[in-house]
Amino acid sequence: MTEAAQTVRSFIDLRAFAAGTDLLAAEGDGAWATNRRDLSLAPGPVTVSVLRLSGEGAQAALVADEFAIVLDGELQIATDAAVLNVTAGRSAVIPAGQAFGWTARMATTVVVMRCASGPAGAEQIVPIDESAALVPSGAPLAELLVGPTPSCRNFTDYRSDNGEFVCGTWDSTPYHRRAMRYGHFELMHLLQGAVTFVDGAGREATFAEGDVFLVEQAAECSWESRVHVKKVYAIYRPA
C-alpha cells in the first residue's frame, strides 16, 4: 500500500482487527476498561476497541456511551435493574453513567465503539432489537445514485441526549451510490446481504452477513449492494 493510501480515511474490518491482536482474555474489576486494544483513529470523541474477557468483574460508572458487540463467546451484563445476556453476534448500548458487573463463562471477544460527545440518552443498558419493526427512512441523495432509488427503513434503539450518537437497525433494497464523504463514523454489523465499498485510494472490499466493520469519518466511499441488506449500526454524527 502506498503512503498516500495509508493516510486515506477508509473502511476497517473489525473482525480482522480483533483477530490480529495478541490481547489475552482477562478478568477482574476494571478489566472492561483496561484490557482493550484501540484502533488508530483521528483524535476526537470516538474510539473503537477490541476487548477480551474471561471470568467475571465489575466496572464503575462509564464516563461515555459504549456500543458493544460480542464477536465470539458470551457476555452477561448485570446492573441493579436487570441482567442482560449478550451472545455472539448481538449488541447493546451501555450509557454513560452506568455501572455494571459482567461475566464471561468462556473467552469472549467484544468490539466497543465509545462515544464521548454528549450526555447519555438512557438510564439503563439498551439491547439492540434486531427484530424491531422498521419504518420508512430517507434514501441516499439522488445525485449520487447510479440506478433506481432504494427503499430504506430504520429503527432507532438508542439516541444520546444531544442526538449525536445513534444506534439501531436499518435495511434497504439494492442500490449503487457513488463515493460520498462520510461526515460521521459508522460501525456496521451486516445481518443480511452484502455490500461492496471502494475508498478514495481505490481500495475495494466486500462485506457480507456476519461481518463487522467501521467507516471512518472523512472517508470517501462508494456503496454497491446487489441484494437486500440489513444491518445494525452505531453512528457518531456531530451536530
C-alpha–C-alpha distance, residues 212 and 215, integer Å: 10
Mean predicted lDDT score pLDDT of the chain: 96
Range of the domain at 158: 135-236
The model carries a pTM of 0.96
Same domain, 151 and 172: yes
181 burial via Cβ count (<10 Å: 0-12, 13-18, 19+): exposed
Same domain, 58 and 149: no
* Strand, coil or helix: 233: strand
Same domain, 40 and 108: yes
Place of cell 484501540: 38
pLDDT digits (tens, 9 = 90+) for 142-156: 999 999 999 999 999
Last residue of a domain, one of 76, 109, 127: 127
Q: The domain spanning residue 145 has which CATH number?
A: 2.60.120.10
pLDDT for 135 equals: 98
C-alpha–C-alpha distance, residues 92 and 69, integer Å: 7
Last residue of a domain, one of 127, 153, 180: 127
Same domain, 200 and 176: yes
pLDDT digits (tens, 9 = 90+) for 179-213: 999 999 999 999 999 999 999 999 999 999 999 99
Could you give the number of structural domains in the chain? Answer: 2
